[in-house]
Structure 1
């Protein structure tokens, strides 16, 4: 990875089922960040283009969600590619993706200043998500000018095999986006625990970005967090008073701790298959390309 990667974790509160308003708000945020304190990577939460589904299955909501979903490439990724080129920042956001054939995916897209788009589709669907989305079938690592970035969405991070498969593929930074609400049955700082453990056990940087706002009686409270490969917390957000949380990731932090992988014993306990590495450096020809 680069010697230094500055990350802006945007604790975004989406407008329900309004991709145009959300797209414009994200573009404005990227421009504001570039103007006030430039970042190499700007990350928005899960389903930032539409908001998160209601806690109970609702067929009417499903029809509205299908209308608000977008193809990739599509209007939001085109707009983000433009602002990425203008600011020099890589931008990642959750999106309700309209797939060929009409299926929807809960996706995380990463766009680069060169106009490249990488997509991860949430592999592990949580709760009622399966009523609206089809699961992804691969774990991805984007090979970018910032370094190798593993992409995941919320519930994906609960399964240690997912992060390990990305680490085995050479990921240096893991980015996971969330729509995580307060859960009285879980620790208050669950995202912090998740980030610290996944970073430490894989010797990678882990960036967890959660949303704000309230939808369908569910309150989302941010608490985005980033941890370095030793498990040290680099930054931690709170609620609406922290709309943008910043972290500085360094290559030195990787090189200082990366002994663990050499001591592993897959001959004893097996190994998950490495994630798929997707090149995301420059477009192979003019225009927008996706992978």
Structure 2
């Protein structure tokens, strides 16, 4: 399986971001013959609920189906290439949102999708979390979709591996202060779960006021392709880039497969019961914090349990 990982730089105008993404598909297919092209989380640009981004509401979020998705369905069909359409803030019919990734096959059909299950930051009061993980059947085997912070929760990737996934695609965003940690975490995830991991990140800066202070969030690229044996391709941190890599399903009897065979599910029953922090309402806590600081960007929801990103 040949993959192309698109590392994008956020444009000031989302229309430019869309054009840049289209050009990236043309470049990726022109410089190779990828089976899958993978975009990062929020490839159109930052979501409106990040600090200082309220002007992007209705511009970097979209309906599915809708014109943005249809554009890439046509590209997938014309190039005969599968596309992991990073993630977009999907506007749902009930006025809520979801941080959604799509898998488009070579015919341009949506054959897989995953909404982020483990929402982060302001997403908690804007987006609805998924209750299931993204496992997709493709013409090169079973793959997984994990949207950004989903990969940080160990159970997510392990469940996919146990379902027979050989490669997990992670549309994400590397925070500048976490670069070294991200590389180590992705390598460890691939090794312990005996899967390949394809991770795509954007480059860009989000800046805005929160109360009386300026908040800056730097996204620093560092897209990766990782096998259980280690990193096979890595992008820089400051510019748009396309990584090309060839991947094979990991050998079933490698070290990671060995760890998997030692599992004792009967010892893990606490995972299904109460856990530390279960009674906390993080969305409500965040709304209170934003209200007290006087600088919130997240819209309130009537039911905190409906929050998701």
TM-score range normalised by the length of the shorter chain: 0.7 to 0.9
Residue 10 of structure 1 is matched in structure 2 by 6
Aligned-pair CA distance for 1:66: 4.1
The structure-2 alpha-carbon separation of the partners of 1:67 and 1:86, relative to structure 1 and needing over 3 Å to count, comes to: closer
Distance in 2 (alpha carbons) for counterparts of 1:171 and 1:248: 17
Residue 83 of structure 1 is matched in structure 2 by 75
Q: Secondary structure at the match of 2:183?
A: helix
Distance in 2 (alpha carbons) for counterparts of 1:49 and 1:136: 21
**TM-score, length basis structure 1:** 0.81
The structure-2 alpha-carbon separation of the partners of 1:88 and 1:141, relative to structure 1 and needing over 3 Å to count, comes to: same
Aligned-pair CA distance for 1:67: 5.2
Mind listing any 5+ residue stretches in structure 2 that lack a counterpart?
208-215, 273-309
Residue 42 of structure 2 is matched in structure 1 by 47
Q: Secondary structure at the match of 1:255?
A: coil
Aligned-pair CA distance for 1:38: 2.1
Distance in 1 (alpha carbons) for counterparts of 2:97 and 2:12: 17
2:102 to 104, 109, 117: 109
1:73 to 50, 61, 65: 65
Q: Where does 1:158-237 land on structure 2 (aligned, <5 Å)? A: 158-183=152-177, 186=178, 188-216=179-207, 217-228=216-227, 230-237=228-235
Aligned-pair CA distance for 1:15: 2.5
Q: Secondary structure at the match of 1:175?
A: strand
Mind listing any 5+ residue stretches in structure 1 that lack a counterpart?
274-291
- The structure with the larger Rg is 2
Aligned pair count?
260
CA RMSD of aligned residues (A): 2.3
